[in-house]
Structure 1
Protein backbone atom coordinates (compact mmCIF):
# COMPACT_ATOMS: atom_id res chain seq x y z
CA UNK A 1 0.00 0.00 0.00
CA UNK A 2 1.19 3.49 -0.90
CA UNK A 3 0.04 6.61 0.93
CA UNK A 4 -0.08 9.78 -1.15
CA UNK A 5 0.12 12.97 0.92
CA UNK A 6 -0.47 16.46 -0.42
CA UNK A 7 -0.61 19.64 1.65
CA UNK A 8 -3.13 21.91 -0.07
CA UNK A 9 -3.16 25.64 0.51
CA UNK A 10 -6.42 26.99 -0.86
CA UNK A 11 -6.73 30.65 -1.81
CA UNK A 12 -8.27 32.47 1.14
CA UNK A 13 -12.01 32.98 0.91
CA UNK A 14 -12.51 29.99 -1.42
CA UNK A 15 -12.49 27.26 1.24
CA UNK A 16 -16.24 26.50 1.18
CA UNK A 17 -16.39 26.32 -2.62
CA UNK A 18 -13.26 24.14 -2.65
CA UNK A 19 -14.84 21.69 -0.22
CA UNK A 20 -17.96 21.42 -2.39
CA UNK A 21 -15.90 20.87 -5.55
CA UNK A 22 -13.64 18.40 -3.75
CA UNK A 23 -16.65 16.21 -2.96
CA UNK A 24 -17.64 16.30 -6.63
CA UNK A 25 -14.08 15.53 -7.75
CA UNK A 26 -13.87 12.58 -5.37
CA UNK A 27 -15.85 10.41 -7.76
CA UNK A 28 -13.07 10.74 -10.35
CA UNK A 29 -10.22 9.59 -8.14
CA UNK A 30 -12.23 6.79 -6.55
CA UNK A 31 -12.97 5.24 -9.94
CA UNK A 32 -9.30 4.50 -10.71
CA UNK A 33 -7.79 1.02 -10.62
CA UNK A 34 -5.79 0.50 -7.45
CA UNK A 35 -7.54 3.26 -5.52
CA UNK A 36 -8.27 2.20 -1.93
CA UNK A 37 -9.56 5.28 -0.09
CA UNK A 38 -8.98 8.97 0.51
CA UNK A 39 -9.72 11.70 3.02
CA UNK A 40 -9.38 15.45 3.22
CA UNK A 41 -8.37 16.96 6.55
CA UNK A 42 -8.72 20.68 7.36
CA UNK A 43 -6.12 22.46 9.49
CA UNK A 44 -7.45 23.85 12.77
CA UNK A 45 -4.91 26.68 12.99
CA UNK A 46 -4.92 27.76 9.34
CA UNK A 47 -8.43 27.60 7.82
CA UNK A 48 -7.25 27.53 4.20
CA UNK A 49 -4.81 24.62 4.67
CA UNK A 50 -5.79 21.00 4.04
CA UNK A 51 -4.08 17.63 3.88
CA UNK A 52 -5.16 15.13 1.23
CA UNK A 53 -4.45 11.49 2.09
CA UNK A 54 -4.95 8.88 -0.61
CA UNK A 55 -4.24 5.16 -0.29
CA UNK A 56 -3.25 3.31 -3.46
CA UNK A 57 -2.33 -0.31 -4.03
CA UNK A 58 0.79 0.74 -5.97
CA UNK A 59 2.66 3.94 -6.80
CA UNK A 60 1.81 3.42 -10.48
CA UNK A 61 -1.91 3.43 -9.69
CA UNK A 62 -1.47 7.09 -8.83
CA UNK A 63 1.35 8.22 -11.12
CA UNK A 64 0.16 6.39 -14.25
CA UNK A 65 -3.38 5.03 -13.89
CA UNK A 66 -4.76 8.26 -12.39
CA UNK A 67 -2.44 10.96 -13.67
CA UNK A 68 -2.71 9.77 -17.28
CA UNK A 69 -6.49 9.32 -17.22
CA UNK A 70 -9.48 11.35 -18.40
CA UNK A 71 -10.65 11.35 -14.80
CA UNK A 72 -7.52 13.25 -13.79
CA UNK A 73 -8.32 15.95 -16.36
CA UNK A 74 -11.73 16.43 -14.71
CA UNK A 75 -10.14 16.41 -11.22
CA UNK A 76 -7.62 19.00 -12.38
CA UNK A 77 -10.32 21.19 -13.95
CA UNK A 78 -12.37 21.19 -10.73
CA UNK A 79 -9.57 21.67 -8.20
CA UNK A 80 -6.23 22.97 -9.44
CA UNK A 81 -7.27 26.63 -9.69
CA UNK A 82 -7.85 26.73 -5.90
CA UNK A 83 -4.21 26.15 -4.91
CA UNK A 84 -1.62 28.79 -4.12
CA UNK A 85 1.10 27.64 -4.14
CA UNK A 86 0.63 24.46 -6.13
CA UNK A 87 0.98 21.50 -3.75
CA UNK A 88 3.88 19.12 -3.47
CA UNK A 89 2.69 15.51 -3.64
CA UNK A 90 4.72 12.79 -1.93
CA UNK A 91 4.31 9.03 -1.56
CA UNK A 92 5.01 6.94 1.53
CA UNK A 93 5.31 3.26 2.41
CA UNK A 94 4.41 1.95 5.85
CA UNK A 95 7.41 0.97 7.95
CA UNK A 96 5.71 0.40 11.28
CA UNK A 97 2.21 0.44 12.74
CA UNK A 98 1.12 -0.03 16.34
CA UNK A 99 -2.44 -1.33 16.58
CA UNK A 100 -2.70 -1.55 20.36
Structure 2
Protein backbone atom coordinates (compact mmCIF):
# COMPACT_ATOMS: atom_id res chain seq x y z
CA UNK A 1 0.00 0.00 0.00
CA UNK A 2 1.15 3.53 -0.84
CA UNK A 3 0.06 6.66 1.00
CA UNK A 4 -0.18 9.85 -1.03
CA UNK A 5 0.04 13.00 1.10
CA UNK A 6 -0.67 16.50 -0.18
CA UNK A 7 -0.77 19.76 1.73
CA UNK A 8 -3.35 22.00 0.05
CA UNK A 9 -3.40 25.75 0.64
CA UNK A 10 -6.77 27.09 -0.47
CA UNK A 11 -7.14 30.73 -1.45
CA UNK A 12 -8.59 32.92 1.31
CA UNK A 13 -12.36 33.01 1.36
CA UNK A 14 -12.76 29.99 -0.93
CA UNK A 15 -12.71 27.28 1.74
CA UNK A 16 -16.43 26.40 1.70
CA UNK A 17 -16.56 26.35 -2.10
CA UNK A 18 -13.44 24.15 -2.13
CA UNK A 19 -14.96 21.69 0.35
CA UNK A 20 -18.11 21.39 -1.78
CA UNK A 21 -16.08 20.85 -4.95
CA UNK A 22 -13.94 18.30 -3.13
CA UNK A 23 -17.06 16.32 -2.20
CA UNK A 24 -17.92 16.12 -5.91
CA UNK A 25 -14.33 15.27 -6.88
CA UNK A 26 -14.21 12.49 -4.28
CA UNK A 27 -16.40 10.28 -6.46
CA UNK A 28 -13.87 10.62 -9.27
CA UNK A 29 -10.84 9.45 -7.32
CA UNK A 30 -12.82 6.72 -5.54
CA UNK A 31 -13.67 5.16 -8.91
CA UNK A 32 -10.04 4.70 -9.98
CA UNK A 33 -8.24 1.38 -10.28
CA UNK A 34 -5.97 0.79 -7.30
CA UNK A 35 -7.76 3.31 -5.09
CA UNK A 36 -8.22 2.16 -1.47
CA UNK A 37 -9.41 5.19 0.51
CA UNK A 38 -8.98 8.91 1.06
CA UNK A 39 -9.60 11.57 3.65
CA UNK A 40 -9.36 15.35 3.81
CA UNK A 41 -8.29 17.05 7.03
CA UNK A 42 -8.63 20.78 7.76
CA UNK A 43 -5.78 22.44 9.69
CA UNK A 44 -6.77 23.98 13.00
CA UNK A 45 -3.87 26.45 13.14
CA UNK A 46 -3.62 27.76 9.57
CA UNK A 47 -6.68 29.10 7.76
CA UNK A 48 -7.27 27.49 4.39
CA UNK A 49 -4.75 24.69 4.88
CA UNK A 50 -5.82 21.08 4.29
CA UNK A 51 -4.13 17.69 4.28
CA UNK A 52 -5.26 15.15 1.69
CA UNK A 53 -4.35 11.52 2.34
CA UNK A 54 -5.04 8.89 -0.33
CA UNK A 55 -4.23 5.21 -0.07
CA UNK A 56 -3.36 3.41 -3.30
CA UNK A 57 -2.49 -0.21 -3.95
CA UNK A 58 0.59 0.78 -5.99
CA UNK A 59 2.44 4.02 -6.73
CA UNK A 60 1.63 3.67 -10.44
CA UNK A 61 -2.10 3.60 -9.67
CA UNK A 62 -1.74 7.26 -8.74
CA UNK A 63 1.15 8.52 -10.89
CA UNK A 64 0.09 6.78 -14.11
CA UNK A 65 -3.41 5.33 -13.75
CA UNK A 66 -5.00 8.42 -12.22
CA UNK A 67 -2.78 11.26 -13.36
CA UNK A 68 -2.83 10.18 -17.01
CA UNK A 69 -6.58 9.49 -17.14
CA UNK A 70 -9.51 11.52 -18.48
CA UNK A 71 -10.91 11.44 -14.93
CA UNK A 72 -7.88 13.43 -13.74
CA UNK A 73 -8.85 16.24 -16.11
CA UNK A 74 -12.26 16.41 -14.41
CA UNK A 75 -10.56 16.35 -10.95
CA UNK A 76 -8.22 19.12 -12.05
CA UNK A 77 -11.08 21.28 -13.39
CA UNK A 78 -12.98 20.94 -10.11
CA UNK A 79 -10.08 21.63 -7.74
CA UNK A 80 -6.87 23.12 -9.10
CA UNK A 81 -8.10 26.73 -9.30
CA UNK A 82 -8.49 26.79 -5.48
CA UNK A 83 -4.77 26.30 -4.68
CA UNK A 84 -2.19 29.01 -4.00
CA UNK A 85 0.56 27.86 -4.12
CA UNK A 86 0.13 24.59 -5.98
CA UNK A 87 0.35 21.60 -3.59
CA UNK A 88 3.36 19.41 -3.05
CA UNK A 89 2.44 15.74 -3.33
CA UNK A 90 4.58 12.99 -1.82
CA UNK A 91 4.23 9.23 -1.54
CA UNK A 92 5.02 7.06 1.46
CA UNK A 93 5.27 3.36 2.16
CA UNK A 94 4.70 1.76 5.53
CA UNK A 95 7.64 0.47 7.51
CA UNK A 96 6.95 -2.74 9.35
CA UNK A 97 7.80 -2.23 13.01
CA UNK A 98 8.14 -5.99 13.43
CA UNK A 99 11.16 -5.95 11.11
CA UNK A 100 12.80 -3.14 13.10
CA UNK A 101 12.33 -4.79 16.51
Superposition TM-score tier, normalisation by shorter sequence:
over 0.9
Partner of 1:30: 30
CA-to-aligned-CA distance 1:9-66 (integer Å, 9 cap, x gap): 0001000000000000001111110000000000001120000000000000000000
- Structure 1 position 86, deviation (Å): 0.1
- What is the total number of aligned residue pairs between the two structures? 98
- Please tell me the root mean square deviation across aligned C-alpha atoms, in Å: 1.2
**Tell me, what secondary structure is at the counterpart of 1:37?**
strand
Partner of 1:40: 40
Any stretches of 5+ residues in structure 2 without a counterpart? none
- Please list every run of at least 4 consecutive aligned residues from structure 1 whose deviation after the TM superposition is greater than 4 angstroms: none
**Tell me, what secondary structure is at the counterpart of 1:63?**
helix
Partner of 1:87: 87
With the length of structure 2 as denominator, give the TM-score of the two structures.
0.94
Q: 1:97 to 1:22 in 2, by over 3 A?
A: farther
With the length of structure 1 as denominator, give the TM-score of the two structures.
0.95
More helix by share: 2
Any stretches of 5+ residues in structure 1 without a counterpart? none
Partner of 1:20: 20
